[in-house]
Amino acid sequence: MALPDGFDLDDFVRRTLAEDLGAGGDITSAATIPAEARFTAEMNSREPVIVAGIVIAEAFFRALDPEVKIDTLVDDGQRIPAGTVMMRITGLARAMLTAERSALNTLQHLSGIATLTGDYVDAIAGTGATLLDTRKTIPGLRLLEKYAARMGGAHNHRLRLDDGLLIKDNHVGVAGGVAEAVRRARAANSGLPIQVEVDRIEQIEPALDAGAERLLLDNMPPPVLRQAVALVAGRVPLEASGGVTLGTIRAIAETGVDFISVGRITQSAPAVDIGLDYRAAPGRG
């Protein structure tokens, strides 16, 4: 599975290791492990997960031991049960121990996002609605977190502020109303579709009359969403957003909206439990 366009793997690995190593490096491993010692390790999932970031985890080990032997047994986007061996590694023990935390932190975080995303996708299966992520990401990790959401089955909403025109409530407030905000957006001639956030049924027709090409229905309960779907009657795509949980998303999807955006899948996903278990490899290098 290809990593996201624009993501510099070497730079990410370098910066992450530098953060962990500090100026003095892994002083514990240097003090307790002979330089020539070798280990074999198995990376295991300790709960059911959807994998995301396995290639990045590999890169941490290779960065510190270019001769390391890695046998990767799973792919990003793959659902695996608890107890699955994800990777086998043989190499220099010091390098492996030094890289372990950075590799696991990244893989646990991204697989956590993919796994939670998969739960939301499963919850709306068969409804026709599509799950979207949002810009609610950890600063500096957006490319990776949105990649992980894709591995879990979501579609990416806009990546940056410059690749989607979304008029939100504060834009509407400053502009003086939904229609005026849309009018100004059309006059800007960005070439991008104009999406408008509405939180009341009475905003829908003014937004459409002004030229909105997609509506974001914000914090509307299912009965109101059904009214909005009936009113719009397929004229533009509809996206529901705001306070969506695993317990509510099915009912939202069944109203007939086209998309549901969920910030929780990147903002609140817990890391999954993945471990690296060591055993001595025969011989010493």
The answer to whether 69 is a known catalytic residue is: no
**Catalytic residue, candidates 62, 135, 136, 183:** 136
> Could you tell me the CA-to-CA distances from 146 to 44, 88, 219 in Å, in that order?
24, 27, 23
Positive or negative: CA dihedral 190, 265, 100, 78:
negative
The answer to whether 168 is a known catalytic residue is: yes
181/210 Cα distance (integer angstroms) = 9
**Catalytic residue, candidates 58, 65, 100, 197:** 197
**Catalytic residue, candidates 168, 200, 235, 284:** 168
H, E, C per residue of the chain: CCCCCCCCHHHHHHHHHHHHHCCCCCHHHHHHCCCCCEEEEEEEECCCEECCCHHHHHHHHHHHCCCCEEEECCCCCCEECCCCEEEEEEEEHHHHHHHHHHHHHHHHHHHHHHHHHHHHHHHCCCCCCEEECCCCCCCCCHHHHHHHHHHCCCECCCCCCCCCEEECHHHHHHHCCHHHHHHHHHHHCCCCCEEEEECCHHHHHHHHHHCCCEEEEECCCHHHHHHHHHHHCCCCCEEEECCCCCCCHHHHHCCCCCEEECCHHHHCCCCCCEEEEEEECCCCC
The answer to whether 136 is a known catalytic residue is: yes
**Catalytic residue, candidates 62, 79, 101, 158:** 101
The answer to whether 75 is a known catalytic residue is: no
- Active-site residue set: 101, 136, 168, 197, 218
